[in-house]
Amino acid sequence: MVSQNVVVSDAKTGIITVSTVSNSSVFTPSAQKPPTAPGYISVSKKKLLKNLEINGAQSQRLNSWVDSMRASSPTHLKSLSSLSSEEELNSWIKRHPSALDMFERIIEASRGKQIVMFLDYDGTLSPIVDDPDRAFISSKMRRTVKKVAKCFPTSIVTGRCIDKVYSFVKLAELYYAGSHGMDIKGPTKGFSRYNKDKPSVLYQPAGDFLPMIDEVFKQLVDKTKSTAGAKVENNKFCLSVHFRCVDEKKWSELALKVRSVVKNYPTLKLSQGRKVFEIRPMVKWDKGKALEFLLESLGFENRDDVFPVYIGDDRTDEDAFKLLQERGQGFGILVSKFPKDTNASYSLQDPPEVMEFLRRLVEWKKFSNER
Ligand SMILES: O=P(O)(O)OC[C@H]1O[C@H](O[C@H]2O[C@H](CO)[C@@H](O)[C@H](O)[C@H]2O)[C@H](O)[C@@H](O)[C@@H]1O
């Protein structure tokens, strides 16, 4: 009897769960066709019907999972062309208005409090591109972030490893939380305006996982090398398997390959980001915890005069949005052109709008200091 993994994805969280099933119930493309194998017809009608039932349910799950892969980074506006989608968009925008339209209200809410900025990288500061190694930040955006950091404590919170994101951002005065918050570093010595007396913050809650991550990286590279367009990225404490450039017909196959590796590591978790599988240690740590850690490190623990603002575009940013909602402090801004389930209060459409929002914050700060 052959065993196979069935992958199920939760459309809201992107978390993928997998169960191992025997060949009598697994969904495979051939299971859709009438069985031709000798001996298959000898299966009793009852058993066959039962198998069909199971296959149907699993095929549905697999389909919903591929749907979730498709929805993980919508790239066209087709879905908004129908009236119901337009209505959906309008009602979503009412619930998550543009942070640019609401700028005055945001500023009003922050009055008398210290704004602390948290910025995701991909899809927030840099546009989403096919090649993850070429997701460059524009010089204009870099200059803007530099100015933001002069006005407010500022952190980059990203799924990338710190070295990689630093090679893009190149700003030594920022805090960096890489590997989805599992690798936290303070500004390079001499660059901090907020933490002069303290050493650089350094926290790595998944340090023990390094050898395992390296091992899984090698296996994933090997396993996926036959899938054209697939790319495995080592983000130090976590891994990404990109499928943006993989033919959609090959997605389920790729997913099963990824799973066949990850299933041997029960302490690793598989989830989805924007056209990417994310593999990370099952530790109780995420971008929300990283935000909390950074606030504490900056001396804002138990203070109600702090106003954290977190801008991000991906599912992993939801942990930070949720944390802010729970704390009732500051707010999250989701970067998206499409209605998405989110814990963010406001929205911005794309990195140019993010830059405009940051620019207005800097202008406002300058003006309020001049008065
Ligand atoms: O937390 P983030 O900074 O948003 O990082 C999340 C992942 O971002 C990158 O992948 C995404 O951007 C790529 C470049 O635009 C794009 O090709 C890919 O499809 C996106 O998923 C990064 O490469 C991953 O390692 C991060 O985990």
Q: Are 253 and 296 spatial neighbours (Cβ–Cβ below 8 Å)?
A: no
Looking at the domain assignment, is residue 91 inside a domain?
Answer: yes
If one counts every other C-beta atom within 10 angstroms of the C-beta of residue 46, the result is 8
Q: Which residue has the tokens 């194998």?
A: 37
Looking at the domain assignment, is residue 134 inside a domain?
Answer: yes
Length of the chain measured in residues:
371
Q: Which residue has the tokens 């198998």?
A: 51
| Tokens (6 digits) for 157 | 């919170």
End-to-end CA separation in angstroms for the chain:
77
Residue 59 shares a structural domain with residue 119: no
Looking at the domain assignment, is residue 175 inside a domain?
Answer: yes
**Is 315 near ligand 1, meaning CB less than 6 Å away?**
no
* Ligand 1: centre distance to CA 85 (Å): 27
Q: Which of 31, 47, 71 is the last residue of a domain?
A: 71
What per-residue confidence (pLDDT) applies to 156?
Answer: 98
Residue 22 shares a structural domain with residue 170: no
Q: Which of 71, 99, 116 is the last residue of a domain?
A: 71
What per-residue confidence (pLDDT) applies to 80?
Answer: 40
**Is 229 near ligand 1, meaning CB less than 6 Å away?**
no
Looking at the domain assignment, is residue 230 inside a domain?
Answer: no
Helix (H, G, I), strand (E, B) or coil at 116: strand
Atom of ligand 1 nearest to the CA of 312: 4
Residue 52 shares a structural domain with residue 109: no
Q: What's the CATH code of the domain at 161?
A: 3.40.50.1000
* Ligand 1: centre distance to CA 161 (Å): 11
* Ligand 1: centre distance to CA 128 (Å): 7
Looking at the domain assignment, is residue 267 inside a domain?
Answer: no
**CA distance linking residue 362 with residue 357, whole number of Å:** 9
Residue 310 shares a structural domain with residue 360: yes
What per-residue confidence (pLDDT) applies to 202?
Answer: 81
* Ligand 1: centre distance to CA 130 (Å): 10
ipTM here: 0.99
What's the pTM value of the predicted model, to 2 decimals? 0.83
**CA distance linking residue 78 with residue 170, whole number of Å:** 37
Q: Which helix (H) or strand (E) holds 194?
A: none
Atom of ligand 1 nearest to the CA of 314: 4
pLDDT along the chain (371 residues), means of 10: 40 47 30 35 42 52 68 55 72 96 96 97 98 98 97 97 97 96 88 63 90 98 98 98 97 96 98 96 97 94 93 97 96 95 97 98 88 53
Residue 355 shares a structural domain with residue 299: yes
* Amino acid at residue number 347: S
Count up the domains in the chain and report the number. 2
Q: Which residue has the tokens 């169960």?
A: 19
Residue 303 shares a structural domain with residue 167: yes
What per-residue confidence (pLDDT) applies to 68?
Answer: 73
What per-residue confidence (pLDDT) applies to 359?
Answer: 98
Residue 127 shares a structural domain with residue 189: yes
Residue 147 shares a structural domain with residue 21: no
Looking at the domain assignment, is residue 35 inside a domain?
Answer: yes
Identify the residue whose C-alpha is closest to ligand 1 atom 23. Answer: 132
Looking at the domain assignment, is residue 275 inside a domain?
Answer: no
Residue 122 shares a structural domain with residue 199: yes
Identify the residue whose C-alpha is closest to ligand 1 atom 11. Answer: 122
Helix (H, G, I), strand (E, B) or coil at 118: strand
* Ligand 1: centre distance to CA 312 (Å): 12
Q: Which of 46, 71, 96 is the last residue of a domain?
A: 71
Residue 38 shares a structural domain with residue 144: no
Residue 46 shares a structural domain with residue 132: no
**Is 235 near ligand 1, meaning CB less than 6 Å away?**
yes
> Cα 130 to the chain's mean position, in Å?
16
**Is 286 near ligand 1, meaning CB less than 6 Å away?**
no
Residue 43 shares a structural domain with residue 138: no
**Is 318 near ligand 1, meaning CB less than 6 Å away?**
no
Q: Are 113 and 307 spatial neighbours (Cβ–Cβ below 8 Å)?
A: yes
DSSP states along 311-330: EE-SGGGHHHHHHHHHHTSS
Q: Give phi and psi for 39, each to the nearest 5.
A: 95, -25
Q: Give me the sheet containing 231-234, strands edge to edge.
A: 231-234, 239-242, 276-281, 268-273
Looking at the domain assignment, is residue 116 inside a domain?
Answer: yes
Structural domain span for residue 61: 3-71
* Ligand 1: centre distance to CA 241 (Å): 10
What per-residue confidence (pLDDT) applies to 336?
Answer: 95
**Is 242 near ligand 1, meaning CB less than 6 Å away?**
yes
**Is 259 near ligand 1, meaning CB less than 6 Å away?**
no
Select from 276, 277, 333, 350 the residue to mutate for testing ligand 1; criterion: most ligand atoms less than 8 Å from CB: 276
Select from 122, 245, 311 the residue to mutate for testing ligand 1; criterion: most ligand atoms less than 8 Å from CB: 122
